[in-house]
Amino acid sequence: MLEIRNLHASVEGKEILKGLDLKVGPGEVHALMGPNGAGKSTLAAVLTGRPGYEVTEGTVLYKGQDLLKMTPEERAWAGLFLSFQYPVEIPGVTITAFMKAAVNAKRKAAGEPELKAAEFLKLMKEKMALVQMKADFAKREVNVGFSGGEKKRNEIFQMALLEPSFALLDETDSGLDVDALKIVADGVNALRSPERSAIIVTHYHKLLEYVQPDFVHVLKEGRIVKTGGRELVDAIEAKGFDQF
Amino acid sequence: MGHGKYIAPQKGKYQVAAGETLELQFVVLPGESEDIDVSVDLTGPGAEVHLKGLYLCGADEKVNFRILVHHLAPGCHSTQLFNGIAGGAAQVSFHGTIVVAPDAQKTEAYQENHNIVLTERAKVETRPQLEIYADDVKCSHGATVGQLSEDERFYMRSRGIPDAQARRLQMLSFLSPVIPAGREAEIEQALEKLQGE
Which DSSP string do the residues of chain B spell out, in sequence order? --TT-S-SS-SEEEEE-TT-EEEEEEEE-TTS-EEEEEEEEE-STT-EEEEEEEEEE-TT-EEEEEEEEEE-STT-EEEEEEEEEE-TT-EEEEEEEEEE-TT-TTEEEEEEEEEEE-SSS-EEEEEEEEEE--SSEEEEEEEEEE---HHHHHHHHHTT--HHHHHHHHHHHHHGGGPPTT-HHHHHHHHHHHHT-
pLDDT for B1 equals: 31
pLDDT, residue A144, reads 96
pLDDT at position B9 is: 56
Which has the closest alpha carbon to A200: A34, A15, A19, A21? A34
pLDDT on residue A204: 78
- Burial of A96: CB neighbours in 10 Å, binned 0-12, 13-18, 19+: middle
Residue of B nearest to A79 (CA): B160
Q: Mean pLDDT, to the nearest integer, of B123-136?
A: 96
**Parallel/antiparallel/unpaired status of strands A2-11 and B107-117:** unpaired
Q: Do B158 and A75 touch (CB under 8 A)?
A: yes
* Strand pairing report for B48-57 and B21-28: parallel
Per-residue pLDDT at B178? 96
pLDDT in tens, A46-101: 999 999 999 999 999 999 999 999 999 999 999 999 999 999 999 989 999 999 99
From chain A, pick out residues whose CB is under 8 angstroms from the CB of B156.
90, 98, 101-102
pLDDT at A198 over 90: yes
Find out whether B75 and B103 touch, Cβ atoms under 8 Å.
Answer: no
With a CB cutoff of 8 Å and minimum separation 6, the contacts of A189 are A210, A211
Alpha carbon of A242: minimum distance to chain B alpha carbons (Å): 34
Cβ contact A93–B158 (<8 Å): no
Asked if A98's CB is within 8 angstroms of B169's CB, the reply is yes
Q: How far is B71 from chain A (nearest CA, A)?
A: 32
Total-model pTM: 0.89
Residue A203: the pLDDT is 80
**Structural domain boundaries of chain B?**
3-148
Least confident of A43-47, A195-199, A205-209, B144-148: A205-209
pLDDT value at residue B6: 44
DSSP A163: -
Residue B64 has pLDDT above 60, yes or no: yes
pLDDT at B4: 37
Give the mean model confidence (pLDDT) for residues A132-156. 93
